[in-house]
């Protein structure tokens, strides 16, 4: 097996790549292949072709005319030579040389491209997606998908090095209750029955643990029929892994190593070791379980300051604040917008105080704002002390239930201070000690992660009596405010799994029908196990400096789930429907 890396190995039609030629190659006879980026003719005796392949552009000089237009595919035969004095192009990597005495062979003609194939021209996304094959030729798409390939290669290498075995699991599978809507695939052989496309290989990998593959990984395709967003597609890729006889710390160690390797492969720099925060601290300090550590503006607790207050607006169980540096200059319209945003996020209201110089009325700064004069002198002083706000700052205060006060201020903190996702340093953080359940809209517990997560042993007794207080051995990895992935120690004993199903209101008969295969497997020697999955589209997007994951996916769908390139989804011919035993009920026109 050769271990030498040969990215530029010649192939039948070419000897070199365009973009890597330098002065060292002067005198070499080369045959290059690519697309015509630009053609210029100077009369009948001199023509230039800028030839592009994925590695870059090189200038080819033809002593005559040339029969090739933009984006035609050509092979150029010629000799590398130094550019004449005064024509060196410092803006081009190959700008010191050119290919002289060229003959150009047209390999294929092309229609004019629907948009210019360079990064300077901004084409509309629908046009780009419809002609994705042309869009992919643009340098930034080439860079992004190649960066992504490096990320995958580094992850695979790290997992193999750590003793993980790559195993593929089926795409046609049974429904997995991880909380997302699944895609269903009709069975031709069993009319009226459906496969589910897996929202993750969760149960398959847990069964691999029972099967004795104690370190499994896969770069897995996951499918969820949920609304699309900038950071979410119907299908996405995860580095999925699971290991037996391992703790939460072990899993976090394996994942950290793989992710840091991938980051280093993509950016050339190894991020520092990943820090850790508990879920409760993340909520308290950043108002979210996806804390963005690139900037400050942490939440400050003022509950105690207002413990005896006469101001009704501040008498809720929790009162918290954030300080916006320089925010005293915000116009009223901006403050109204922030108030609306706070209400949309669930608060009853938002109090704001501008910090101003006291103007001789007393020592230190004073507060200005609709509620300022209702605060006692002591409350004002302590608010300023606690928040550390100085003249020119804005203090935003929310008083509410603890979770609401935190999340509302967390939303405002990100909206006001959050840099674009891709900007600045990459701040990875582990969030640990999640609650086992969240309160659903119907007041019933819902799994905060998924129902296969192991509660803390000391909390098990409260599963039936006070489920919302039960903590789980679940952990998330967050990067710059984006959830990169999540995982947990799993339940491996049948009776604990049944207790959790019971807390979720899943009857035994139903549990048996839906996950009988899992509960059955637990009877045959299930080892303790734990795992994780890292979202690769998000990781690649951030490492590539892109706000939208569509920029790191070859063929993404639009926000409405359409594939503009192929026209999917599309109706099926009647014969195909009949074969599947499906009758379509056309919804009434809206
Ligand atoms: N299956 C989970 C997910 O897709 C990850 C895990 O728990 O391993 O989010």
Q: Which atom belonging to ligand 1 lies closest to the Cα atom of 490?
A: 7
Question: How do 215-223 and 194-196 pair as beta strands?
Answer: unpaired
264, part of any domain: no
89, part of any domain: yes
184, part of any domain: no
Cβ–ligand 1 distance for 291 under 6 Å, the answer no
Q: Which atom belonging to ligand 1 lies closest to the Cα atom of 199?
A: 4
Q: Which of 364, 395, 417 is the last residue of a domain?
A: 417
406, part of any domain: yes
Q: Which of 417, 436, 454 is the last residue of a domain?
A: 417
410, part of any domain: yes
407, part of any domain: yes
Average pLDDT of the residues in 516-527 = 92
- Look up residue 239 and give its two tokens: 């580095």
**18, 32 contact by CB (below 8 A):** yes
Q: Dihedral, CA atoms, 261, 264, 269, 272, nearest 10 degrees?
A: -30
d(CA 222, CA 233) in angstroms, rounded, equals: 10
pLDDT band of 494, cuts 50, 70, 90: confident
Cβ–ligand 1 distance for 200 under 6 Å, the answer yes
93, part of any domain: yes
Residue 50's CATH number: 2.40.50.140
Cα of 538 vs centre of ligand 1, distance in Å, is 15
d(CA 366, CA 361) in angstroms, rounded, equals: 9
Q: What is the pTM of this model?
A: 0.93
Residues spanned by the domain of 370: 295-417
Query: Whose alpha carbon is nearest atom 1 of ligand 1?
Result: 202
- As a whole number, the mean pLDDT across the chain is 94
Q: Which of 108, 136, 164 is the last residue of a domain?
A: 108
Quick one: which of 554, 291, 327, 525 has its CA closest to 428?
291
* Best of 205, 206, 238 for a ligand 1 pocket test (most atoms within 8 Å of beta carbon): 238
Cα of 535 vs centre of ligand 1, distance in Å, is 10
Domain count, the chain: 2
Report in angstroms the alpha-carbon separations of 195 from 189, 264, 484: 12, 39, 28
Work out the percent of the chain whose per-residue pLDDT is above 70.
98
Cβ–ligand 1 distance for 472 under 6 Å, the answer no
Instruction: Report pLDDT digits (tens) over 364-419.
Output: 799 999 999 999 999 999 999 999 999 999 999 999 999 999 999 999 999 999 99
282, part of any domain: no
Residue 326's CATH number: 3.30.1360.30
Q: What pLDDT, on a 0 to 100 scale, did the predictor assign at position 217?
A: 98
In this predicted structure, the answer to whether residue 122 has a pLDDT above a threshold of 90 is no
């Amino acid at each position: 097996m050769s271990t030498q890396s040969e990215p530029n190995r010649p192939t039948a039609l070419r000897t070199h790549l365009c973009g890597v030629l330098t002065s060292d190659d002067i005198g070499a006879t080369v045959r290059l292949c690519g697309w015509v980026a630009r053609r210029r003719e100077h009369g009948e005796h001199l023509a230039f072709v800028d030839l592009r392949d994925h590695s870059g552009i090189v200038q080819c000089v033809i002593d005559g005319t040339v029969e090739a237009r933009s984006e035609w595919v050509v092979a150029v035969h010629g000799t590398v030579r130094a550019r004449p004095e005064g024509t060196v192009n410092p803006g081009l990597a190959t700008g010191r040389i050119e290919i002289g005495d060229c003959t150009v062979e047209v390999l294929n003609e092309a229609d004019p491209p629907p948009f210019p194939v360079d990064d300077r021209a901004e084409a509309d996304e629908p046009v780009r997606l419809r002609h994705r094959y042309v869009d992919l030729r643009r340098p930034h798409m080439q860079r992004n998908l190649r960066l992504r390939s490096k990320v995958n290669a580094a992850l695979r290498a790290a997992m193999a090095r750590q003793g993980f075995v790559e195993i593929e699991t089926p795409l046609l599978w049974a429904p997995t209750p991880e909380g997302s809507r699944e895609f269903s695939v009709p069975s031709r052989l069993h009319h009226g029955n459906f496969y589910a496309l897996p929202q993750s290989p969760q149960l398959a990998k847990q069964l691999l643990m029972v099967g004795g593959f104690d370190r499994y990984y896969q770069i897995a395709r996951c499918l969820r029929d949920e609304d699309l967003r900038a950071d979410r597609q119907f299908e996405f890729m995860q580095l999925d892994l699971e290991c037996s006889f391992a703790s939460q710390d072990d899993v976090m160690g394996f994942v950290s190593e793989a992710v840091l390797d991938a980051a280093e492969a993509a950016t050339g720099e190894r991020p520092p070791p990943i820090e850790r925060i508990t879920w409760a601290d993340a909520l308290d300090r950043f108002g979210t379980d996806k804390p963005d550590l690139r900037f400050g503006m942490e939440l400050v607790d003022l509950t105690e300051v207002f413990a005896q207050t006469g101001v009704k607006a501040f008498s809720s169980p929790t009162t918290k604040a954030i300080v916006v540096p320089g925010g005293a200059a915000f116009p009223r319209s901006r403050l109204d917008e922030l108030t609306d945003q706070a209400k949309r996020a669930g608060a009853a209201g938002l109090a704001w105080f501008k910090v101003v110089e006291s103007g001789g009325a007393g020592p230190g700064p004073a507060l200005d704002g609709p509620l300022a004069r209702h605060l006692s002198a002591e409350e004002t002083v302590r608010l300023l002390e606690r928040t550390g706000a100085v003249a020119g700052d804005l203090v935003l205060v929310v008083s509410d239930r603890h979770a609401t006060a935190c999340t509302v201020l967390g939303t405002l903190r990100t909206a006001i201070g959050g840099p674009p996702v891709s900007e600045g340093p990459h701040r990875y953080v582990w969030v640990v000690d999640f609650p086992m359940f969240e309160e659903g809209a119907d007041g019933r517990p819902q799994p905060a992660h998924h129902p296969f997560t192991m509660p803390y042993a000391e909390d098990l007794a409260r599963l039936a009596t006070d489920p919302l207080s039960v903590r789980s051995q679940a952990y998330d990895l967050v990067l710059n405010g984006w959830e990169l992935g999540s995982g947990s120690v799993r339940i491996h004993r049948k009776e604990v799994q049944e207790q959790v199903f019971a807390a979720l209101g899943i009857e035994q008969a139903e549990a048996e029908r839906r996950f009988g295969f899992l509960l059955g497997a637990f009877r045959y020697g299930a080892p303790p196990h734990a795992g994780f999955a890292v979202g690769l589209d998000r990781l690649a997007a951030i490492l590539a400096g892109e706000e939208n994951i569509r920029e790191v996916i070859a063929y993404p769908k639009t926000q409405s789930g359409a594939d503009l390139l192929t026209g999917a989804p599309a109706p099926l011919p009647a014969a195909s429907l009949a074969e599947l035993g499906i009758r379509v009920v056309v919804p009434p026109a809206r």
